[in-house]
Amino acid sequence: MEAKNLTVARIKSLIERGEASAVEICQAYLQNLERLNPTIKAYLHTSPERALELAARIDRLKREGTPLPSLAALPMAIKDNILIKGLRSTCGSKILENFVALYNATVIEKLEAAGAVFLGKANLDEFAMGSSTENSAFFATRNPHALDYVPGGSSGGSAAAVASQMAVAALGSDTGGSIRQPASFCGVVGLKPTYSRVSRYGLVAFGSSLDQIGPIAATVKDTAQILRVIAGKDPHDATSLAVAVPDYLEGIEKPVKDLKIGLPREYFRAGLSEVVKNKIQAGLRLLETLGCQMVEIELPHTDYAIATYYVIAMAEASSNLARFDGVRYGLRVRGYSNLSGMYRETRDAGFGAEVKRRIVLGTFVLSSGYYDAYYLKAQKVRTLIKQDFEKAFEKVDVIISPTSPTPPFRIGEKSNDPLAMYLSDIFTITANLVGIPGISVPCGTTPEGLPVGMQILGKHFDEPRLLHLAHIFEQAGGFTL
C-alpha cells in the first residue's frame, strides 16, 4: 500500500471495494512518518497504537456490512494545542511538557465519530505564538519543499505533515493566520472558518476572541468534508453559534461566472514580494478567464491592523496564560522559598522568550493607566476595520489577496527580529479581527520551487462560496501556475 496522494473519497473507496484495509492505510502513513519525521520534524509525538485501534474499528464496520462514516480511516495530524484524551498536549511549551489531556476537544469527538484516525500531535510555535514554528520549545519544523526554510506558523507541523504525505489532512488553529500562512508556505489548502463556526472547546486558548480551529488538506474537497464534520453549535462553547451546517460539496462544481472579486488596494503595494505579486496576478487572470469580475476596493484602516491585532492578542494571551503557574497542572520547579517565588521561577523556566514577550506586553496594555490608551483604543480600531470589510462586501462577493507578503523564508532569518516576523501576518490578521472566514490555496511556486499561497476572504458564514471558488481555481490548474 503506497501512502501517496490519497484523499477522503479515495480512501473510503479503497476500503469499500476491498482494495485496501483501514489498518493497511494507517500502517502505510505510519511508515511514512517513521521515515520522514526525523528530518522534517512535523510531529512532536505519535500515537501508533491508538491510530491502529481506530483503523481496526473501521475494518470491523466493513466486515459487518455497516456503512462507513464520512471520513473513514482518514489519517490525520492534530496540532498539539488541541486536546486528545490520554495523549500529551504540550502546546509546544516546556511548561506543559508532561501534561496529559483529561478529555477530548469537541472537534476530536466529532472527527473520531466520523472515522478519522489520529496519527499524532503536530509541532507548533509555543502556545501558537509565532509565524515559523521556530518558537517550539522542543525543535523547529522544516519545510518539506526546502529543508532550510520554515514551514510557516504556528500550525507549521500540521501543514508540513500534509505536504510531506505524513498525513492526508490535519487540524490547526488560527489566531492571526496560523492555518493560512503555513498552508501557503507548504503548498497545501488551509481554512480558517468564521469565528463561532467551529467549537473551541478543548483548544488551549491564546486569544479567545480570535482563535479558531480549522482543517488543512491537499485538496479543497477534503477541506470541505472535514469542515462539515467539525462545524456546528457546541453546548460546551458559549461562543459557538447555532447556524445550520450546509453540505459544503453541494454545487461546488458549478461555474463561477460573474462572481465579483474585491482586490484591496492596500494589499498590493510596497512590501509585497515581486514574485508573490506576479503569482497572485497570474491567479487573478485565470479567474477572469473563468468569468469572475475584478473590482478594486479600499480597506482604509489596514495600516492600523498589525498594531491593533498585537495589542488585543497579547492582552488576551496575558490573561489566558495566567493559569499556567505551577499550581494545578504542568511544570512546577523545585527549591522555591515562597508562593510568589514558585510562580516566578516556574513561569521563567517554563515559558520561552516569545511567550514571555507577549505576556509582558499584554500585561502592560491591560495595566492601570494604559488600558484606555492601548487596549480600549485597539478595540475601537477593530470596529473600524470591521466596518471597512462590511462596506467592501456590499460591492463584492469575496476578497482576494496574497496569503503572505513573501515566500517561505530561511530558518533563523527572522528569529531575532520580532517585528519582521509579526509583519508576516499582515494579510491574514484582519480576518481574525473581523471574524470572517478565509482560505489559503496554492498559487504556483517561485523559481526556487517555494510555494506561494493565494488568500480568499468571505462574509460571515460564507464558507460555501470560498470553497466553491477555491475548488474551481484548483480544477482550472491554479494550484500549479
| Residue 246 burial (10 A CB sphere; 0-12, 13-18, 19+) | middle
Q: Which of 79, 121, 221, 414 is catalytic?
A: 79
Q: Which of 93, 154, 240, 440 is catalytic?
A: 154
Which stretches of 66-198 are assigned E, i.e. beta strand? 75-79, 117-122, 169-173, 189-192
State CA 72 to chain mean position distance.
22
How does strand 398-402 pair with strand 260-264?
Answer: parallel
Residue found by looking up cell 463584492 in the block: 396
Cβ atoms of 144 and 163 within 8 Å: the answer is: yes
Cβ atoms of 125 and 77 within 8 Å: the answer is: no
* Cβ atoms within 10 Å of 387's Cβ, excluding its own: 13
- The span from the CA of 151 to the CA of 141, in Å, is 7
Element (H, E) at 324: none
Phi, then psi, of 213 in degrees rounded to 5: -85, 145
Q: Is 132 helix (H, G, I), strand (E, B) or coil?
A: coil
DSSP state of 461: T
- The span from the CA of 344 to the CA of 144, in Å, is 39
Question: What burial letters (b/e) apply to 322-353, b meaning 16+ CB within 10 Å?
Answer: eebbbeeebbbbeeeeeeeebbebbbeebbbe
Question: Cβ neighbours of residue 119 under 8 Å, at least 6 residues apart?
Answer: 26, 29, 30, 33, 43, 46, 47, 48, 51, 75, 76, 77, 161, 166, 167
Q: Would you call 340 a catalytic residue per the annotation? A: no
Residue found by looking up cell 473501521 in the block: 58
Q: Which of 47, 131, 164, 178 is catalytic?
A: 178
Q: Would you call 79 a catalytic residue per the annotation? A: yes
- The span from the CA of 264 to the CA of 290, in Å, is 21
Q: Would you call 173 a catalytic residue per the annotation? A: no
DSSP bridge pairs for 172: 214
- The span from the CA of 420 to the CA of 414, in Å, is 6
Active centre residues (catalytic): 79, 154, 178
